[in-house]
Chains A and B, each alone.
Chain A
Amino acid sequence: MAKNLYIQHYCRIKNNKVYLNGDLIFEENSEDIKSFLKSVYQFLDPKYSKFFKMDALSKLAFLSAEIILKDINTENKNIGIILSNNASSLDTDRKHQDSINDKENYYPSPAVFVYTLPNIGIGEISIRHQLKSENGFFVFEKYNANFHHNYENILIQNNKSEAVLGGWVNIDEDSYEAFLYLISENGTIEHTEQNLKQLYTN
């Protein structure tokens, strides 16, 4: 019998604002994305110094997940992670490219290079919450509610995951946007393509 699935929690980070389940929980007019993400970190205070070593995309994914999972016991939970975006890891790819452009001054940074894949953000969330689960990172032109709904549904209905952390995490230079949510058998908002689309556009 098919399980009834819900959007248990959802989080939006955009335009210097952070929303949880539609409510504004943090706002700060920062000069750039780096300062804003640091302020969100200080607001959440997860006491996780590895955060400062992450690239901006991973920081955004990490903070969004932190907001959604902070009151959820993730120990021994099989929570899959399905994320997508438009710019892949381009923001960090450019930084890496800059460090290797000059053959006379060729010092690629290992700490930058390790983030030249978008799915590293999934790894950071998994390490933080000790998740050893199904995961995937996809690149689309824009948030694809149909794809996400299908993939998240299949994972849970086929018992590959108990719950799924899904959504869109995109960064390109100073443009950023995160829409993350937790799909599970708990909650009140039905997990439908229409609801995902509506929460994303609101």
Chain B
Amino acid sequence: MEDLKLELKNNIIELLNLEDVNVDEIKDDDSLFGDGLGLDSIDALELIVMLDKDYGIRLSDPKEGKKIFESIEVMAAYISEHRTK
């Protein structure tokens, strides 16, 4: 699980072009949206594509993303349970 969390942090920084953020600055329970990392709605769409591309998880309802992308902790748990690749 720790490896997956680190992988997610690295992927998010690269995928979302967070050039001024380091991996160790993202805590596992930090909010990814709002006051935390400050991601926006386009970032949320990128994360949905990443779930499909990297882990074979297709969200049937984009609104599910709101809960899944709450934090690295929540994302990692969801991916571990639902990944198909």
Contact = CB atoms under 8 A, between A and B. Distances in A.
Contacts of B45: 110-111
Nearest to A53: B17
A-B CB proximity, top 8 nearest: A110-B45, A52-B17, A52-B19, A107-B53, A53-B17, A49-B20, A111-B46, A110-B42
Interface of B: 16-20, 42-43, 45-46, 49, 52-53
A104 to B, nearest CB: 12
B78 to A, nearest CB: 20
Provide the main secondary structure of the chain B interface. Answer: helix
Interface size class of A (residues with CB under 8 A): under 10
Interface of A: 49, 52-53, 107-111, 114
Contact of B49 (A49, A53, A107): A107
B52 to A, nearest CB: 7
Nearest to B47: A110
B52 A52 contact: no
A109 B52 contact: no
A108 B49 CA distance: 8
A180 B63 CA distance: 41
A177 B49 CA distance: 33
Given A109-B46, A110-B45, 9 more contacts: A49-B18, A49-B19, A107-B49, A107-B52, A109-B49, A110-B46, A111-B16, A111-B43, A111-B46
A49 B40 CA distance: 12
Contacts of A110: 42, 45-46, 49
